[in-house]
Copies of this chain bind each other. A is one copy, B any other.
């Protein structure tokens, strides 16, 4: 699962949202780090609907513009759960490796003497 997809599912986890709202929610949830591109978003939504991770929810017309709402399916929540576990495992492994690296290189600290 790629990052934009991950953030779309994450943003949809709490409640149904329409495309444009997802762009803002991903931005908010990530403290401004994730800027979903419109092209990426709508293509990903179509794909996620095909895969059954997301479902069309309802459609509203606000100020002449259609808002198409999507919601996370149970399969989608399960997939996001699995992805989170996978990512956490990778993060833990990388942290352990980086710690070992620092241990190997930072030999000065091992010889630190309290004077």
Contact B13 A94 (CB under 8 A): yes
Which residues of B are found within 8 Å of A100, using beta-carbon distances? 13-14
Shortest beta-carbon distance from A105 to chain B in Å: 9
Contact A91 B84 (CB under 8 A): yes
Contact A88 B91 (CB under 8 A): yes
Contact B84 A94 (CB under 8 A): yes
A44 at the interface (CB under 8 A from B): no
Contact A30 to B90, CB < 8 A, known contacts A100-B13, A104-B14: yes
Which residues of B are found within 8 Å of A90, using beta-carbon distances? 3, 6-7, 10, 30, 87
A38 at the interface (CB under 8 A from B): no
Chain A 75-100: CB-based contact to B (< 8 A → 1; otherwise 0): 00100110110111111011101101
In the A-B complex, the 6 residue pairs with the closest CB atoms: A13-B97, A10-B94, A13-B101, A14-B100, A84-B94, A87-B91
